[in-house]
Every structure is written in structure tokens, then in C-alpha cells.
Amino acid sequence: MNRPNIVFILSDDQGPWAAGCYGNAEIRTPAIDRIAQTGMRFDNFFVATPVCSPSRATFLTGRIPSQHGVHDWIRAGNVGASAAAYLAGEVAYTDILADNGWVCGLSGKWHLGHSQLAQHGFVHWYVHQQGGGPYNDAPMVRNGELITEPGYVTTAITNDALAFIDRHADGDAPFYLGVHYTAPHSPWTGHPPEIVDSYDNCAFDSCPQEAIHPWAVGHTLSERCLGNREMLKGYFAAVTAMDRDIGRILDKLAEKGLREDTLVVFTSDNGFSCGHHGFWGKGNGTYPPNMYENSIKVPFVASHPGRIPAGSVQAGMVSTYDFMPTLLDYLGLPLPEGANFPGQSARPLLLGEDDTGRPEVVIYDEYGATRMMRTEAWKYVHRYPDGFDLSLAEGPHELYDLANDPDERANLADEPSQAERIGALKRRLEAWYERYVVPQRDGRNFAVTGKGQLRPVGDGQQSFAPE
């Protein structure tokens, strides 16, 4: 077994377009770009749900929402007497790392319930009380105690991560460090003024402010932010301030002589649109939830000098449910038995090896009653009744010809000429979910509205906030 250190950096609400190494010449991300330059950039990395908590749960467990039961962002059960561990009974890859000798630490956002309780193999636990909030004087948890952290939260998270590296740099055991920023999640105020001001003259051509999407009407975020340059400056500043601190982490690894022995990964929990398609937000930036590329695709770069080819680009499609199998395979550790994992290891892709024998990859997504499948050329979105009244009609459905319409402008779902294709895609979609869904956690049966999850599913109470 090979035992490198692992630094897993996770941003919050970062679109695939919001990094220099992905072709955006307007936003400054030299540290993220450095990870890509010294490693591999994945151009087609997808989340399994376009919202934070379920996506984070899938990263950790390798299982989809209709298996682990987290279907929306966790609105209640984070701290206090009502705190609930949403992943109780699940096996996370950090559990396996801890069992095999890694010292596991977490600095930043958890947002999977019971934030005062160190869980899933973590022995260091400095986390956000909720899932977001003010960037200054943020509500955090240290040693199980609720605190207000003075200063800028991105820097506080980084300082904690650096202290963890200092403590374990010379240890006999390898370490795993999760650095989970709240950036660039809203609010887009309170960021370092010198960084905000540096975007005064930005044209923001990378963020077209389109006419409001019909499904975003009544969404105050979109209505407040569309065309608002101060919000664009704040989003860009949140990314650049985070990137500055990522640079500090990379520098610390080099200073401690650990860079050659450390796998560094940077990614995000879901994508984001800043005016693209006429809304601000992610999957729940519209109702019904959307599955646009900017919502389901995220940046993903990985660097491990001497193992991952430097400066390489990977076009193969990979999902968050592939991450746990890939990481454990990379480390020479087996997957736990009996979990019915939907993903497969992408280790050959990560190492730049010939992957001609890899089966066809299809990406699957869900958000409550909305489900999607995406091949290289086609995307099909099927909407079941949304859990309020299961007798209601399905729809609206969507079909996009990604080869000829990569920006998803022409919905072909009602075209008679596509009926046969839609039938075939729907059958594949439903067969895949039938294979993996845990019936009592099936997202189609819950009223998931994008307004948040109130408690773990299965206790007989209302689990989701009403629309």
C-alpha cells in the first residue's frame, strides 16, 4: 500500500468557468492554476446532485442521494439539541483511511449534520456551525464548542489547516486534511476590499447577464443579483481570496518538504451560474431544479508530483460517486463490501494511462424528483411528480443535443423526431436508478423543493422544507 499525505480542498458554489486554468482570463486563480500545471485538469467532472450537502455526502461515501438519504442542503439538525448525524450508518472513505493509519483532519465546512460531533474518522474537527453565513466573525465549532471566529473566515480556515500540517509534518503516520471553504458561496460582501476593488474595471464577459429564466421568477437571489456588478465583484473576490490562501497551503507543503509526498486535490461541491441562462445559483437556483452544465459540472484538478502527469488534461467523464473508488484504488485500499457502489475507479485516467477498455461512461444526477442522464452527446432530464402529490403529471422534461448545442438552448423533448431516443434514454435512466436506489430513501418520493432538508429521511416526519 502506498501512503501519501492527502490534501482535499473543496470550494462551495464554484462554477467550472470560475478558474483561470479553465480558460477564464478575467478571474485570478494562480494557486488553483498551479495545481493544474503540476498535475491534471479534468474537463468533465460532474457532481451527482447540484447542491451542497448531498454532493458532499456523495464525495465522502461514494453513494448517491437515494442511497445515503441526503437530498437537499441541510437546513436543520446542524447544532444544538436537535442536532442529527445525517450520515450515521454510512461508511466514508475517511473511515477507511483512519482504519488504515491516516490521521484525518477537517478544517472548514461540514454541513452534514451534528457539526459539534467529530465523525467518520476525523480526529481534528474545526468546522462551520451551519453551511454558510457571514465571512467575518463566522459561527464555527472548535473542540465541540460553538464559537464566533474573529476575522475573515477563509483565512481562519486556512490558518487552522496550516497548523494541522505543522503538527503532523514530521509524524510517522500519513495525514488526510480536508480544507472545506465556504467561498465563494454567498454573501458576496465582506471580502478583502483590495481584492474586491481590483475587479472594478472587469468586463465580466465570462458572466453574461441574461434575461431572467422563467423558472427563476420569484427567486430573490436571481432578481437581486442579475446585472449587479457589485455581486459579480464579490463572487470573483471570494474566489481570488480563497485562491490566495490555497497558495499558502501549497507553500506550506513545500516548506515542510512534503510536496512530493502529497496528493493535492481541488474541486467544488456544485457548479454555479452568475447570470448564465438567466439566473444566479445552482440546481435550486430555479424551480423546478435545473441540471444545466454550469450546475452539475465543477472544476477538478489533482497534483501528485512523480505520479500524476504534470500539465495534463483529462477529457473523460467522471462523477463524484467515482471519487471514493478512485481514491481508494489510488492508495491500494479495497472498497467496503455490500454498499452497492454506483461508481468506478478513474485511477487510469488520473495516471494518464491507456483507458481504451473502460466501459462507456454515462453521468447520472438527481435532485428530488428531477433525474438526469448525460452521455457524451446527449442530456436527458426527466421530472417525476415532486412528492407533494404523486398523482400530478410529470414534466417538464428536457433533451439537449450537446454535440450541436453545448450551451443547452434548444430543448428537443417535445420533438416527435426524438421520441424513440427519449424512450431509450428514459429506460436506461430508470434501469440505472432501479439498480442502486434504496427504496426508503428514494428521492422521487419526497417533497424536495430546494428549500432545505429538516431531518434525516425515514423517521416518519416531514423531512423537507415546503416550497
Same domain, 410 and 435: yes
Q: Which residues of 148-174 are buried (b: 16+ CB within 10 A; e: fewer)?
A: ebeebbbbbbbbbbbebbeebeeeeeb
Assess if residue 453 is contained within a domain. Answer: no
- Cβ 85 vs Cβ 102: under 8 Å: no
Reading the block at residue 388, the C-alpha cell is 407533494
Same domain, 330 and 435: no
The C-alpha angle 59, 449, 223, rounded to 5 degrees, equals 100
| End-of-domain residue from the set 319, 350, 381 | 350
Same domain, 175 and 284: yes
Assess if residue 260 is contained within a domain. Answer: yes
- Number of helical H runs and strand E runs in the chain: 12, 17
Quick one: which of 291, 310, 294 has its CA closest to 383? 291
Assess if residue 421 is contained within a domain. Answer: yes
Assess if residue 455 is contained within a domain. Answer: no
Q: Number of structural domains, the chain? A: 2
Same domain, 173 and 290: yes
Which pLDDT value is given to residue 1? 60
Q: Which domain holds residue 242?
A: 5-350
Same domain, 289 and 166: yes
Which pLDDT value is given to residue 219? 86
pLDDT digits (tens, 9 = 90+) for 80-113: 999 999 999 999 999 999 999 999 999 999 999 9
Assess if residue 172 is contained within a domain. Answer: yes
CATH of residue 330's domain is: 3.40.720.10
Same domain, 62 and 98: yes
Same domain, 164 and 266: yes
- Cβ 361 vs Cβ 316: under 8 Å: yes
- Mean pLDDT, the chain, integer: 96
Same domain, 291 and 430: no
pLDDT digits (tens, 9 = 90+) for 346-391: 999 999 997 766 778 999 999 999 999 999 999 999 999 886 665 6
Assess if residue 195 is contained within a domain. Answer: yes
pLDDT digits (tens, 9 = 90+) for 15-61: 999 999 999 999 999 999 999 999 999 999 999 999 999 999 999 99
- Alpha-carbon gap, residue 359 to 336, rounded angstroms: 22
Same domain, 305 and 394: no
Same domain, 370 and 392: yes
CATH of residue 382's domain is: 3.30.1120.10
